[in-house]
Amino acid sequence: MEATIPNARRDGNVVAQGSSNPRKSTLRRMWQYRQLYLLILPALVYFIIFAYVPLYGLQMAFKDFQVFRGLWDSPWVGWQNFQHLFSSPKFPQLIENTLLISIYRLIFGFPVPILFALLLNEVRHIAFKRSVQTITYFPHFLSWVVMAGIVINLLGPTGIINTIVREAGGDPINFLANPDLFRINLVVTGILKEFGWGAIIYLAALPGIDPQLYESAKVDGAGKLRQIRDITLPGLRPVMAIVLVLSLGSLLDAGFDQVFMLLNGATLEVGDIIDTYVYRVGLLEANFELATAVGLFKGVNGMILIVTANSILRRFGERSIW
Amino acid sequence: MVVPGETLTTNEIAVQAVEESKRTRRRSRMPDQNPLWAEIMIYGVLTVLTLITLLPMMNVLARSLSDAATVAQNPLMLVPQRMTLDAYEYIFNTPVLMRSFGISVFVTVVGTLFNMIVTTTAAYGLSKTYIPGHKFLMWMVITPMLFSAGLLPTYILMKDLGLINSVWVMVIAGLVSPFNLILLRNFFWSIPPELEDAARLDGASDLRCLWDIALPLSKPVLATVSLFYAVAHWNDFFTGLFFITDNSKWPLQVVLRTIIIDQNMMNMGGAKAPTGDVQQLVVSADNIKAATIIFAVIPIILVYPFLQRHFVKGIMLGSIKG
């Protein structure tokens, strides 16, 4: 993100830095900026307590956690929890569900906002454009609890679609309890909630494309589709790269809120992802050490994915996340 | 929100993109007239996408406002038929719902206030890249984005802090979002330092510069970030789900979840009359479910115009003004 701001400013404030005395000791400079440190302090304390302190709890993954003995006094068991995890038939299923759902989301969800933005960009009636935006952005701000209510109302046994099917003389389809349809439901309803909002970053990037490129393309006789292919899409490449890489970095997430809301006994086999499993096993079944082990597995691999994704961005000279 | 995994969201990228497009304000082309068939296709596809988003929501709204018998008879309605506010009256007379509504309002208002104070001050401090240890401090903020200890260690921490079953857990659990922090930091950073230099020469402290110069210049971004925080608090259901087992302290979203899931089962097993406090009202489970959904969405609708103003107009401005 930093690359967008002129480098000249990065050295900061000439006046405050006291250019008259460059050899001022670090401590004195820190004292000079004490107010700034004070401003940072509350957030720092928050991160230390809520992001760094919990790391000590990770030892649970290597222990046989016994509630009455507490975390510190429970006996160490080495990698036993992980061996247990990796050898259970549940594990490959969890990984498969998580990755498949994420990858389907990526493949089908990625192009929709781009196409939507391109279509919207061709609209000349501002009022129409604005109405479309107002309506399609809205679901982004709804929780998955609310969205699940709307989805169940749409796809449930007595929902809108089944009412139509029944009136047309067909047999109702139980969309929400059918394992074959579960992942499709996730992907489609996920797209419906987010495609409008997802288009924003593309719409914001479109005016940044040099209009002269379009002019000269027109002079050369390039048609609309040609212009989109050779000017618009390459112009959107940096944004696409960021979006792709972010989804790569969160491959192991697969959307807890949505999956959790729509998952039921009938679809557990195809829809149970790492996060829903951690919640169920850890908090509902109180198997703390197993859930911590799964969480640690996810954390480490998630970090590898994000760091890899970011270095890919840098390699290709795009704006990186940090 | 801290758990599970602080996933990268599109909100921050969107704010960044829109702010940037406002800043560049390049004159953009008004789209050329397309051939008639293309125009029909563009408007057609956009209309269909908008209707797919809009109609299921209108159906829920209509169901919530219609008389129970009519809903059962004609579930596909888009406008209320035989309009009645009975379902809403039921909500207002159900203490569980009203209490959870109060909790959600409290968490949203107090939580957002805390969020903004801590995030803004830290963002300003970190925007001064010349303070000793700046890089270390930045990494303290970035690392939690890359690796999180996971649900169980967080749960243990909350337990040790006595936050389990306290409404404060929903205020504190997501006190600072690293993404929002970095977003704001980048805005403070992009303010020309000359503006503050003048004030510093007059003897203004860092705090004064933040208050008198940086904050007034960043009002729109601050408004947007606080709306994102507020919407996130309002929609947050897993903090309540994970850390609050006492259902008298549940926020609205968690209560709504039980209503939706239970109603879903009711639909499968045949409707049963609600056994609420207000027996004389003629409302069905369907009415109540729809009305509770709308009830949970109303605050979002209230702030939506402000979000709209920033985003839609931001993009329009960027694309039309020269």
The pLDDT value recorded for residue A5 is: 40
The arithmetic mean of pLDDT across residues A243-248, rounded, is: 84
pLDDT at A239 over 90: no
B279 pLDDT tier (thresholds 50, 70, 90): very low
> Residue A211: which of B28, B290, B304 has the nearest Cβ?
B28
Q: Which of A37-46, A60-69, B252-261 has the lowest mean pLDDT?
A: A60-69
Q: Look at B276 and A83; give whichever has higher pLDDT.
A: A83
Q: Tell if the CB–CB gap between A299 and B149 is shorter than 8 Å.
A: yes
The dihedral through the CA atoms of A110, B179, A271, A302 has a sign that is: positive
Would you give the distance in Å from CA A166 to the centre of its chain? Answer: 38
B133 pLDDT tier (thresholds 50, 70, 90): very high
Q: Please give, rounded to a whole number of angstroms, the shortest distance from the CA of A263 to a CA of chain B.
A: 10
Give the span between the Cα atoms of A251 and B21, in whole angstroms.
Answer: 29
* DSSP reduced 3-state for A76: strand
φ, ψ for residue B85, nearest 5 deg: -105, 15
Q: Tell if the CB–CB gap between A46 and B148 is shorter than 8 Å.
A: no
Q: Look at A126 and A67; give whichever has higher pLDDT.
A: A126
Q: Tell if the CB–CB gap between B76 and A321 is shorter than 8 Å.
A: no
The pLDDT value recorded for residue A248 is: 85
pLDDT at A3 over 50: no
| Residues B198-226: tens digit of each pLDDT | 888 888 899 999 999 999 998 888 998 99
Locate the chain A residue with the closest alpha carbon to B243: A283
pLDDT at A61 over 60: yes
The pLDDT value recorded for residue B24 is: 67
Which positions in chain A touch B142 (Cβ < 8 Å)? 322
Locate the chain A residue with the closest alpha carbon to B60: A150
- Per DSSP, A319 falls in state P
B263 pLDDT tier (thresholds 50, 70, 90): low
The arithmetic mean of pLDDT across residues B12-23, rounded, is: 76
| Residues B304-322: tens digit of each pLDDT | 998 888 777 666 654 433 2
pLDDT at A8 over 50: no
| Residues A156-201: tens digit of each pLDDT | 888 889 999 998 988 888 899 999 999 999 999 999 999 999 999 8
Assigned token pair, A166 = 């029944």
Give the span between the Cα atoms of A245 and B297, in whole angstroms.
Answer: 32
The pLDDT value recorded for residue A320 is: 64
Answer whether B142's CB lies under 8 Å from A51's CB.
Answer: no
Residue B34 CB burial class (10 angstroms; 0-12, 13-18, ≥19)? middle
Residue B11 CB burial class (10 angstroms; 0-12, 13-18, ≥19)? buried
Q: Tell if the CB–CB gap between B32 and A224 is shorter than 8 Å.
A: yes
**Tokens 């600072």, residue located:** B176
* DSSP reduced 3-state for A318: coil
**Tokens 């027996």, residue located:** B279
Amino acid occupying residue A320 = S
pLDDT at A19 over 50: no
Q: Tell if the CB–CB gap between A47 and B125 is shorter than 8 Å.
A: no
pLDDT at A305 over 70: yes
A126 pLDDT tier (thresholds 50, 70, 90): confident
The arithmetic mean of pLDDT across residues A218-240, rounded, is: 89
Answer whether B295's CB lies under 8 Å from B88's CB.
Answer: yes
Answer whether A152's CB lies under 8 Å from A238's CB.
Answer: no
Residue B25 CB burial class (10 angstroms; 0-12, 13-18, ≥19)? middle
The arithmetic mean of pLDDT across residues B39-47, rounded, is: 95
Q: Please give, rounded to a whole number of angstroms, the shortest distance from the CA of B151 to a CA of chain A.
A: 7
> Residue B131: which of A36, A48, A256 has the nearest Cβ?
A36
Q: Which CATH number fits domain B10-320: 3.40.50.880, 3.40.309.10, 3.30.300.20, 1.10.3720.10?
A: 1.10.3720.10
Give the span between the Cα atoms of A63 and A287, in whole angstroms.
Answer: 12
Q: Nearest 5°: CA angle at A292, between A306 and A42?
A: 65
The arithmetic mean of pLDDT across residues B229-236, rounded, is: 94
Per DSSP, helices labelled H in A206-281 are 211-219, 224-227, 233-249, 256-262, 268-271, 274-278
Task: Share the mean pLDDT of chain B.
Answer: 84
**Tokens 């931001």, residue located:** B314
Q: Tell if the CB–CB gap between A299 and B172 is shorter than 8 Å.
A: no
Q: Tell if the CB–CB gap between A71 and B46 is shorter than 8 Å.
A: no
| Residues B86-112: tens digit of each pLDDT | 899 989 998 989 999 999 999 999 999
The pLDDT value recorded for residue B264 is: 47
The pLDDT value recorded for residue A322 is: 62
**Hey, of B47, B152, B168, which one would you mutate to test binding to chain A, going by the most A CBs within 10 A of its CB?**
B152
pLDDT at A319 over 70: no
Q: Tell if the CB–CB gap between A60 and B141 is shorter than 8 Å.
A: no
Task: Share the mean pLDDT of chain A.
Answer: 87
Most confident range, picked from A155-164, A196-205, B14-23, B45-54: B45-54
CA gyration radius for chain A? Answer: 26
Answer whether B244's CB lies under 8 Å from B5's CB.
Answer: no
**ipTM for this prediction:** 0.87
Instruction: For residue B110, give the H/E element and its range.
Output: helix B95-127
pLDDT at A15 over 50: no
The arithmetic mean of pLDDT across residues A270-281, rounded, is: 94
The domains located in chain A, with CATH, are 81-315 (1.10.3720.10)
Answer whether A150's CB lies under 8 Å from A144's CB.
Answer: no
The pLDDT value recorded for residue B28 is: 52
Domain boundaries, chain B: 10-320
